[in-house]
Amino acid sequence: MPEAYEYVPHPLLRRHVRDIASGIEGELMAVVNENVSATAIERWVELAYIRGANGREISTAVSNIAAAGQ
């Protein structure tokens, strides 16, 4: 059985980014290709994990992140 996730390289890792969907800004900690399926049919999505100023991390679709200030 394959792993439930794998890390993906991204040019904005460890940089200040903004989640377009929520408006939250923080440091991009990781991009993960994650198996989110609850059934035998696999469904993989790329999620970005952003750590905000309060120390809490949120996840969002990779397509929702942009370098802060853009």
Q: Please state the pTM of the whole predicted model.
A: 0.85
How many domains, in total, are found in the chain? 1
Range of the domain at 57: 5-67
Tokens representing 51? 């750590």
pLDDT digits (tens, 9 = 90+) for 3-15: 778 899 999 999 9
Per-residue model confidence (pLDDT) at position 1: 42
Q: What distance in Å separates the CA atoms of residue 70 and residue 61, rounded to the nearest whole number?
A: 17
Q: Which residues contact 6 (CB under 8 A, 6 or more apart)?
A: 32, 33
